[in-house]
Amino acid sequence: MSNSREYPAARKIVEEIRFLNVRTEDFAACHSVDDEFTVIRRKTGDLKASCRANEPGFAGRIREINQAHRYLKDLYEDGVIHSFSQLLQDPHTFSDQEERETMLKNRANDILSGEGTY
């Protein structure tokens, strides 16, 4: 059952998590949102470490990584999200983009309301 509060950023959250190269399986051993954010922080560090200072666009790439991490960190620290992993669960069983978006929005609303649990 979903909460009446809309959470339009579900897609952005998923995009930022994926941008940081975090995959569903990375959360396999997580038991809380704290564990999940530790994974996000580790993957952010790994991604930044893979960037080479002598490559063109280095500063811009680091800036993008930091922005994605900051966005997710703000959600975590504000207690807005109760599970990053639930948003990453693969919606490929849906054939229609609109159905996928609706499913993500509903899942986000459930997570925000505390109904989505481990």
Query: What is the predicted pLDDT for the residue at 112?
Result: 64
Predicted pLDDT at 40: 98
**What distances in angstroms separate CA 86 from CA 64, 66, 70, 118, one per listed residue?**
24, 23, 20, 8
This prediction's pTM:
0.70
Q: How high is the mean pLDDT in each 10-residue block of the chain (118 residues)? A: 47 89 94 96 96 90 95 92 82 48 66 57
Helix ranges restricted to H, the chain: 10-19, 33-50, 58-77, 84-88, 97-113
pLDDT value at residue 92: 44
pLDDT at residue number 95 = 39
